[in-house]
Structure 1
Amino acid sequence: MRHKGLLAVLPMLLALLLPGTTAPAAAAAPVQVYGAWHCGDDYCTWSTVRDVAEFDAKNHWLVDRGDGRPSVNLVVLSFVEPLKLLHRTNDAGTANGVPVGMSREIVQYFTSHGIRVMLSLGGITYTDAWDAALAEDPAGLGRAAAAVAADLGVGIEIDYEQNTAPNLTGLQAFIDAYRAVHPYDATGANPAARLTIDTAAGDRWLIDLNRKATADWLRTDRPVLDYANAMVTARPASASTAVANWQEHLDGKSQYSPPVPPLAPAKFTAGLYIAYGRSPLPECTDYPNSVQKATADWLRNAAPNGAGTTAGLLGYMFWAAEKPSTRGLGTQEPDGCEGGVGAGATALGVQTPMGPLRQS
């Protein structure tokens, strides 16, 4: 066996000794998370029950990129109002604290195609509701979220967009209560154990939240949350601007007081728009000319810079499927985003179902 080990390292030794010889390049990291936030047909409220056939007519591209394979391996239904979840509210648009459109049937529509499902708790519209719920009973909110996750077979995303004095003590209590029910699961086998958090596109917004998450919840040596999503900017960004934002997470902000530590590449995804304004975006319809294609090599090879040991972010998240805005075009069929997201899934070799995620 010893001679086989020597043969394995011989090309690298020759590269060091012989002029003009190069060592084999390291393989790019696989894109493991490739998902879309989903706003339903009522601008992210999900306040009406959806008929599955009607839902499929508007969203079939997500489960079929044109060749029978899904375009994504994750869908995040957005948003659940935290205070209603804490109170297990029942009203015209809510059942036991969850929007009625986020039904078992809609979850199964995706999971039957091998697509993982999560519910996003919050969003910028519900920042005040997050504050109120964390002030009232953060552990109770954590238990309520854990119960919904177990009942529907979904994960939970923390989207707490409080830029000024976020309640980090309360959020810690929420996470502790959730993890008491669903411990961290590196295998990813238990959908309800998937607990993630959203941060800004870079390190210059949601600073306190980002600092806390990076320092305490997204470490590779003692992980608490599975990963973070670097959200989209205020409007679609160029490839160079997008990469500059994402690099901030890798580098941290040592000049801040207190500093923001660097984040491991394997602990976050990069967000891009698929719906914005009234014209189709290349991210949705034209992969060869998309920001995704322009940044894919960087994303799969981004090097650690103080945290983590492996190169490459986990993948991409896209904002947002169907109808995220009253003013926007959305991602309606007949073709949806097969030509952008779907083509990207093929080009990047995205696997469905999603397997265990890199841990370092």
Structure 2
Amino acid sequence: MRHRLRHRLLVALGLLGALLVPHAASASAATGTPPQVYGAWHCSNDACVWGTVRTVAEFDAQNHWLIDRGDGRPSVNLVVLSFVEPLKLLHGTTDATTLNGVPRGMTKDIVQYFTSHGIRVMLSIGGITYTDSWDSALAENPTLLGQRAAALASDLGVGIEIDYEQNSGPDLTGLQSFISAYRAVHPYDATGADPTARLTIDVAAGDRWLIDLDRKATADWLRTDTPVLDYANAMVPSRQPSTSSAIANWQEHVDGKPTYSPPVPPLAPAKFTGSVYISDQSKSLPECTDFANSLQNSTGSFTRTVAPNGAGTTSGMLGYMFWAAERPSTRGTGTTPPNTCEGGVGAGATAYNIPLPMPALRQN
């Protein structure tokens, strides 16, 4: 009990401090378009395997900060459960960590834990560990894979994220078939009312990695006139960037790469989020615990005001994604108590007045 009371006091002081520091206040007062997406990837307690069924009580003890920033309101409006292995999903595999192709820990109870608090839920298919699995599944039967992803979305009432991190010769034809099969079941929904219609893709932090995937996604799937995917996440780089590096990465997506052959076209700011780390193997990060000194604060002016440069008509990126809740690695503390993120992510949700539930997203 003493430990819980001490933790609550520290959280309250952290939130108060974040709101009183002038630099933090500048984020909420900044002009421009406020974030609409403010979400966290979630890796469960086993480094993104989700291999064990968990009770809601035990899960809440480790993750309560996500649904309560300290004042009863959630810290995020989106959680992406990571990861589903593509080949196991295609084959409907049942083994020690998987049931009918789905990680055993990704249950309706866990989805309901978030949706009952107005938090949208998605499942991420892939991740860097499962790049070869994506290759194999797309080579074998991409249409069936898309159909099974759509069925999984229907069963759990969630959206799907494509995390295909093949940097050399990605199977873009197969991925197109996957997307077409998914969209045949769950058509694009600009209103955002149907959670199963939410289909997104991950691209690199900037335009210089996953180039072929980035080019295809930007040119054909993330257009504002004929959208196929809802938006992209510009993922975290290999380590936490500086403010200037994060901004430079995101500006690359806005500008495109006209000198590449073939070029990467510009991406509308309204069609992507920027990502930062909240979990570190050795120490707590400001992005988790100290909004005033966080990247989501120091980059706030840019993400709210960056102007289109060849694609889109409205200024400002779509929002932020955080890597990653609970235990993304077998090393380090993750975001489990007492290292929870009310003072960073949660305080940012307050400063930016993040909408709950997530509204219909900007389309251009």
TM-score range relative to shorter protein: over 0.9
Partner of 2:144: 140
After TM superposition, the structure 1 = structure 2 runs for residues 317-332 of structure 1, keeping only pairs within 5 Å, are 317-332=321-336
Partner of 1:20: none
2:110 to 89, 103, 106: 106
After superposition, the C-alpha distances for 1:288-312 in whole angstroms (9 at most, x for unaligned) are 0111100001100010000000000
Equivalent residue number for residue 270 of structure 1:
274
- 1:60–1:333 Cα contact (<8 Å) kept: no
CA distance in 2, matches of 1:178, 1:204: 28
Shift of 1:229: 0.1
Deviation at 1:333, TM superposition (A): 2.0
Q: Report the Cα distance in structure 1 between the residues aligned to 2:155 and 2:59, rounded to whole angstroms.
A: 22
Q: Which consecutive unaligned segments of at least 5 residues does structure 1 have?
A: 1-25
Distance across 2 between alignment mates of 1:286 and 1:144: 41
1:191 matched residue in structure 2: 195
* Structure 1 residues 56-135: aligned runs within 5 Å: 56-135=60-139
Aligned twin of 1:347 = 351
Partner deviation per Cα, 1:32-68 (whole Å, 9 max, x = no partner): 0000000000000000111110000000000000000
Q: In structure 2, what is the Cα distance between the partners aligned to 1:162 and 1:321?
A: 24
Equivalences for residues 14-33 of structure 1 within 5 A: 27-33=31-37
Which protein has the larger Cα radius of gyration, Structure 1 or Structure 2? Answer: 1
Please tell me whether the aligned partners of residues 58 and 334 of structure 1 are also in contact (alpha carbons under 8 angstroms).
no
Alignment of 1:247-266 (within 5 A): 247-266=251-270
Q: Percent identity?
A: 74
Instruction: Tell whether the 8 Å contact from 1:236 to 1:276 is kept in structure 2 after alignment.
Output: no
Q: TM-score, normalised by structure 1?
A: 0.92
Shift of 1:92: 1.4
In structure 1, what is the Cα distance between the partners aligned to 2:192 and 2:267? 21
Q: Which amino acid aligns with 2:278?
A: I
Report the Cα distance in structure 1 between the residues aligned to 2:147 and 2:268, rounded to whole angstroms. 29
Number of residues of Structure 1 aligned to a counterpart in Structure 2: 336
Asked if the contact 2:233–2:275 (Cα under 8 Å) also holds between the matched residues in 1, the reply is: yes
CA pair 256-200 structure 1, distance change in 2 beyond 3 A: same
Residue aligning to 2:207 = 203
The aligned amino acid for 1:244 is A
Letter in 2 for 1:53: A
**Structure 2 residue aligned with 1:3:** none
Query: Match for residue 235 of structure 1?
Result: 239
Deviation at 1:335, TM superposition (A): 5.7
Provide the residue aligned with 1:168 in structure 2.
172
What CA distance in whole angstroms lies between the structure 1 residues aligned with 2:263 and 2:283?
A: 40
Give the Cα–Cα distance (whole angstroms) in 1 for the partners of residues 333 and 266 of structure 2: 37
Q: Does 1:36 align with 2:34?
A: no
User: Alignment RMSD, CA only?
Assistant: 1.1
4+ residue runs over 2 A deviation: none
Partner amino acid, structure 2, of 1:267: K
* Alpha-carbon offset, residue 27 of structure 1: 4.6
Partners of 1:333 and 1:139 lie apart in 2 by 42
Show the counterpart of 1:150: 154
- TM-score, length of structure 2 as denominator length: 0.91
Give the structure 1 partner of residue 249 of structure 2: 245
Q: Counterparts of 2:247 and 2:346 in 1: how far apart (Å)?
A: 22
Local SS of the residue matching 1:325: coil
Aligned-partner residue type, residue 356 of structure 2: T
Q: 1:326 Cα shift?
A: 1.5
